[in-house]
Structure 1
């Protein structure tokens, strides 16, 4: 079976809950209260779902100067994959509360390892529950630990110097934050407001329709092709506040058939750790 590689619909995935090659990861998280997501998982989750904590499992919070959610060390991350029972042949399904932002972080982590069979559950937990699909509070029995032999393809991961060089070469930098944060009018999280000079704003919420689920591949393709204006997707680098919602843009582009864009892992919170780096405000 080819597997799901970008987004999967809840009603379709519900028929595959008992497949032995599927691992489900609950990525619900709150930036305002980092314990809420795991608490919600304990109270109820998709049958068999294990919990993936943004800051404990999907980031390396010991790193300094790399933004609020530094990219994890590969040894630590693949060890966690093994604990979850994931190997390179596993079909992984990730979900969060709804819009897919945190689940997309896991999606791109696995994609950076070369793992193809990973998808985000469209609409997440909220849509799943609204359809009356099965949930449970029971925790899955420990998985068989299977080593995951892989390393990150670092050509898809850029630091601040590489981003500046990318811009100097005429590359495109897409910022997935809300427009008011990009313009520097509001900044509820980071100590400096504004954006990287030369970046273009496309809030990740634009990847979703009015129902909070992903737009169709055709609609996303039309929107991104207009934005790229003839550029190849490999000329695009995605960023946000800390390298999380930027992955939502990468997922949407791949859903649209536009593969090869890269990630600025430190994003805005990493950029501003060096006060000599330029800051722009306004549109």
Structure 2
């Protein structure tokens, strides 16, 4: 299927703004101030964009024991897509403040529905505005449509499935910063450390000066981490299942498809005090 399916550059997207099949989703969000992204959206956003709130729209905060940002159910999420005017044949582009982690969460949600024509704006809002490209302050009132679909649950794992796959020799990649992985500087979750057997690669290593590294560089780096394993033998996690999505996007950009997401991630893992915890490297 033609279209942008991993990243799109600002210069390219600017030409397509206004096309009826191009739908833009603003995913700006800040953990320390959950309303900051939506407030910034009301001040200015890409023309025609709708706003997706991480807690309200891209997570199911009513679920317990599934991490700080529980994966939403497909029926609720697809209803939101319809309300935003997004149809199954549309070219969707998500963006955030720059590093792409929150936009990547939206990208993975769409990917797990089987939606191929979805991409993240490389460099996000920061690069868009630095280029002086057009912005709008009037929220779009989309024409609602219908979107039906189900998530590919074979690529969405809970803690028990992660344990089973680790025991079978699969690789678990933790996208948190190295000091959090080692358990030295945990400022978000109540318990420090990592899942025993996991390896660490901070999601920021996928970037160079605010943009994703070239596909060949990403491929070399992830293949070195995989140590001969195929991508579908890899699992990704982070603190709550958000920045781990950055790895899934980077891997697909590198031609490495099939890795799975531990949706609850570290905050879901520690919801059961009986699960083992490791610290250090």
**TM range, smaller chain:** over 0.9
Structure 1: segments with no counterpart, 5+ residues: none
Residue 158 of structure 2: aligned partner: 159
User: What SS does the corresponding residue of 1:148 show, helix, strand or coil?
Assistant: coil
Residue 58 of structure 2: aligned partner: 58
Residue 187 of structure 2: aligned partner: 188
Deviation at 1:51, TM superposition (A): 0.2
CA distance in 2, matches of 1:232, 1:23: 33
CA distance in 2, matches of 1:24, 1:157: 25
User: What SS does the corresponding residue of 1:220 show, helix, strand or coil?
Assistant: helix
Are 1:74 and 2:78 matched, yes or no? no
Is the 8 Å Cα contact of residues 238 and 265 (structure 2) preserved in structure 1?
A: yes
CA distance in 2, matches of 1:221, 1:29: 29
CA distance in 1, matches of 2:13, 2:217: 23
Deviation at 1:139, TM superposition (A): 1.1
Deviation at 1:188, TM superposition (A): 0.8
Could you give the per-residue CA deviations for residues 207-239 of structure 1, whole angstroms, max 9, x where no partner exists?
A: 001x11100011101111111121110000000
TM-score in terms of structure 2 length = 0.99
CA distance in 2, matches of 1:138, 1:18: 15
Dislocated runs of 4+, deviation >4 Å: none
Deviation at 1:87, TM superposition (A): 1.3
CA distance in 1, matches of 2:148, 2:35: 31
Provide the aligned C-alpha RMSD in A.
Answer: 0.7
Could you give the per-residue CA deviations for residues 48-88 of structure 1, whole angstroms, max 9, x where no partner exists?
A: 11100000000000000000000001111000000011111
Residue 261 of structure 1: aligned partner: 259
Could you give the per-residue CA deviations for residues 18-74 of structure 1, whole angstroms, max 9, x where no partner exists?
A: 111011000000000100000000000000111000000000000000000000011
Residue 215 of structure 1: aligned partner: 213
Deviation at 1:250, TM superposition (A): 0.3
User: What SS does the corresponding residue of 2:212 show, helix, strand or coil?
Assistant: coil
User: What SS does the corresponding residue of 2:218 show, helix, strand or coil?
Assistant: helix
Matches within 5 A, 1:45-194: 45-141=45-141, 143-194=142-193
Could you give the per-residue CA deviations for residues 231-262 of structure 1, whole angstroms, max 9, x where no partner exists?
A: 11000000000000000000000000000001
CA distance in 1, matches of 2:277, 2:223: 28
Deviation at 1:201, TM superposition (A): 0.1
CA distance in 2, matches of 1:55, 1:272: 20
Are 1:230 and 2:228 matched, yes or no? yes
Deviation at 1:138, TM superposition (A): 1.0
User: What SS does the corresponding residue of 1:187 show, helix, strand or coil?
Assistant: coil
Residue 33 of structure 1: aligned partner: 33
Could you give the per-residue CA deviations for residues 181-208 of structure 1, whole angstroms, max 9, x where no partner exists?
A: 0000000100000000000000000000
Deviation at 1:145, TM superposition (A): 2.0
Are 1:251 and 2:255 matched, yes or no? no
The size of the alignment, in residue pairs, is 281
Could you give the per-residue CA deviations for residues 111-144 of structure 1, whole angstroms, max 9, x where no partner exists?
A: 0000000000000001100000001101112x22
